[in-house]
Structure 1
């Protein structure tokens, strides 16, 4: 509740204030003429097409079925480490679901996902690719491509079809290499340079 003196003081302070007559709207019309900068950006976009840095190929792959087991390891991965991966004994730190994606969408997602895993220090992840059981030809298309793509990525050390409770042959455990930051931390902890 304001007092009479406060009200009078307010009105006295506001006596010189005048209403703005222009409408309170921004002018959002696009300029009709092209600026030199705009023309240069257009020319550069045409001259320099977008470079796809994704190494994953979308060529013809060996068709896999719903019950085919995915299994691969890079040379140097210890037998015991691969066995623990195969048995689902490592904690799953992230997951990527490829269901309902096209091959091209899945290609981009897998590439970005593995890069993110390295960046954030995630070592064991799962990719849900589906079994393809509903496909009339019985081919698990995304599974077939995933089996080709993962070995193409240097950051992938190994992968194996998941245990039944994690999706079975419709999913794959993926072991990702350590990022440079994690390698440095290990050197500091264990005293090696």
Structure 2
């Protein structure tokens, strides 16, 4: 026996119409599983209008700027040369020409970074206590490594760390000037360290 579907009476239809008008959708953050992903927003296309001559001239690429890429550190000798001179200008000129002889020297070759740091601190503190003004710190240029592998290693760890150590406590109040040595005294493998007068 089949059931007969009965339709809504006019009163039921009227009631259902009023119910529908008073309903509000549920606020749900969850998206139904059947909803397709929204279409990607197209990127704005550049305008093809002609720019004024003055504007076009200012946007010309300059060949002097390097292309974007790796931010390479400047060589240490360049960084030291940019530091403003603190000592007497005439003495500084004589120093850079290799005409001032260091009063003491220390060679850090063959030491680990930890050993060299302690030895350097002791040497500089003793030199200042003795009233010395110009000392030579020999670091060497560092070994050349054939294959760095995927992670490049900095050549000459001592050469790069010594200037930083000289600018840190307890030496930063004692050291007045740090410069790469003249070729007579070791060139890029050594540093002149000019000390302040003891107080």
TM-score normalised according to structure 1 size: 0.53
* Matched positions, count: 118
Q: Within 1, Cα distance between the matches of 2:136 and 2:164?
A: 16
> Contact between 1:99 and 1:128, CA under 8 Å: does it hold in 2?
yes
Q: Does 1:145 align with 2:169?
A: no
Q: Larger Cα Rg: Structure 1 or Structure 2?
A: 2
Greater fraction of residues in helix: 1
- Out of 102, 107, 119, the residue aligned to residue 92 of structure 1 is 102
Alignment CA distance shift 1:68-1:91 (3 Å): closer
- 1:135 to 1:102, Cα distance in 2 relative to 1, 3 A: farther
1:170 aligns with 2:189: yes
For residues 74 and 138 of structure 1, the distance between their equivalents in structure 2, rounded to whole angstroms, comes to 26
In structure 1, stretches of 5+ residues that fail to align are: 1-61, 181-193
**2:93 aligns to what SS in structure 1?**
helix
Q: CA RMSD in A?
A: 2.7
Deviation at 1:69, TM superposition (A): 5.6
Question: Is the CA contact 1:123–1:175 (under 8 Å) kept in the aligned structure 2?
Answer: yes
- CA deviations on 1:59-84 (whole Å, 9 max, x unpaired) are xxx9887x846736677433333222
Q: What is the CA-CA distance between 1:106 and the residue it aligns to? A: 0.8
Q: Unpaired runs of 5+ in structure 2?
A: 1-71, 147-152
- 1:128 is aligned to 2:138: yes
Q: Contact conserved, 1:85 with 1:159, CA < 8 A, in 2?
A: no
Alpha-carbon distance in 1 for matches of 2:145, 2:175 = 28
